[in-house]
Amino acid sequence: MHIKQSNLFQNILILMALLLVFICSDTPAIAASKMPEFALPSVEDGELVTSKTFKGKIILINFFATWCGPCRMEIPELIELYTKYGKQDFVVVGLSIDMGGRKTVKKFLEKLSVTYPVLMADSKITDAFGGVPGIPFSFLIDRSGNIIKAYPGYIPPGVFQHDMEKLFPPAPVPKP
């Protein structure tokens, strides 16, 4: 009995390790593909915002919904990243898949003091990103508009920042 429990424990650990590798590795089917172009309404005022607005920036696209617990857990880190790196041509773009409309999402964003742009997503944009099988689901885009990493599900604090920092030029080394 003890041996079977040990094997079961080892199998669970192996599965967890494989899942972690999958989540934290680049998705080959998506990596280096271009970010799809879009024109979506802003939650703030309903005006259309196009993907061209973010040209030349490092972008973290985050598909979410107001009713999604893991999505709500990620939002404070997304706000922090946007605040910290926004002046370095970085932007978080929230894409809400909520069916309740702009007013519901706007009220939710105000409650959480979300400062980054949030747009209302539709099935065309989720399809354009290769299908979004669940939420939260995020994509890191480089300055050239290439999707360099996909993040399925909730991402623990620090992972986005770690991956983003690779895209910024190194800080100059002071001369002695």
pLDDT tens for each residue of 84-137: 999 989 999 999 999 988 999 999 999 999 999 999 999 999 999 988 999 999
Contacts of 14 (CB under 8 A, 6+ apart): none
51 within domain boundaries: yes
70: tokens are 């893991």
Beta-sheet strands, E only, within 8-157: 33-34, 39-41, 48-50, 58-64, 90-96, 118-120, 137-141, 146-152
Catalytic annotation, pick one of 71, 95, 120, 125: 71
Instruction: Decide if 71 is catalytic.
Output: yes
138 within domain boundaries: yes
- What is residue 42's DSSP assignment? B
111 within domain boundaries: yes
174 within domain boundaries: no
Instruction: Decide if 68 is catalytic.
Output: yes
Which structural domain range is residue 135 located in?
Answer: 29-165
147 within domain boundaries: yes
To the nearest 10°, report the CA torsion of 40, 46, 74, 126: -20
Number of domains in the chain: 1
- pLDDT tens digits, one per residue of 19-64: 433 444 444 335 558 999 999 999 999 999 999 999 999 999 999 9
What's 63's domain CATH number? 3.40.30.10
